[in-house]
Amino acid sequence: MRFRPPRRLTRPMHALAISALLAVSAGAHAGTASLQQIVHARQEHFHMLGRTAKSLRDQIVRSHPDWTVVSDDAHRLQQLAAQLPSWFPAGSGQGHGVKTRARALIWRDPRAFARAAHALFSRARDLSRAAATHDRRTMLLEFRALGHACGSCHSRFRAHGSWW
């Protein structure tokens, strides 16, 4: 696969996030100072995931989507999903003195977490394939499946906010 630098990676914030991530994957374990950076970078990645998914959704709910945007977004989702497990180095979850919603369960049951991440990847791949057909109905269905992949991982591995 040819690597195209994603359009939205050019913003300084994201460059920062990526370099933090690279720094993390280079050194195996991190101290508290960089722990903050890891978590920050992870949240930036998730925001990018969210923005991309929203951008795609905003197209397919229209009667005449811009299919170029749709297929770019679908590919980017697939790339991000493939990277997702690397955003969770050991020791970067709750209970390490850093503000995060990543539950310790992620590292206690790594196989289940990997499965949840892979489910997202598969749904993103289906979405990319469906994008080629230019069929809105299929896309909406695939997109709902993608949403379930986000939601079911969050309900298990992301701590809930205390909105009450």
Which residues in this chain contact ligand HEC in the complex, by CB under 6 A?
Answer: 39, 42-43, 46-47, 49-50, 53, 84, 100-102, 113, 116-117, 120, 146, 149-150, 153-154, 157-158
- Report the nearest approach of other proteins to the CB of residue 23 (Å): 26
> Of ligand HEC, other proteins, none, which one does residue 96 interact with (CB within 5 to 8 Å by kind)?
none
Determine, following the binding rule CB under 8 A, whether residue 12 of this chain makes contact with other proteins. Answer: no
**Cβ atoms 107, 93 nearer than 8 A:** yes
**Cβ atoms 88, 113 nearer than 8 A:** yes
Radius of gyration over alpha carbons of the chain, in Å?
16
Determine, following the binding rule CB under 8 A, whether residue 137 of this chain makes contact with other proteins. Answer: no
Q: In the structure encoding, which two tokens stand for residue 62, read together?
A: 């229209």
Determine, following the binding rule CB under 8 A, whether residue 81 of this chain makes contact with other proteins. Answer: no
CA 108 to chain centre: 21
Determine, following the binding rule CB under 8 A, whether residue 84 of this chain makes contact with other proteins. Answer: no
Beta partners for 158? 102
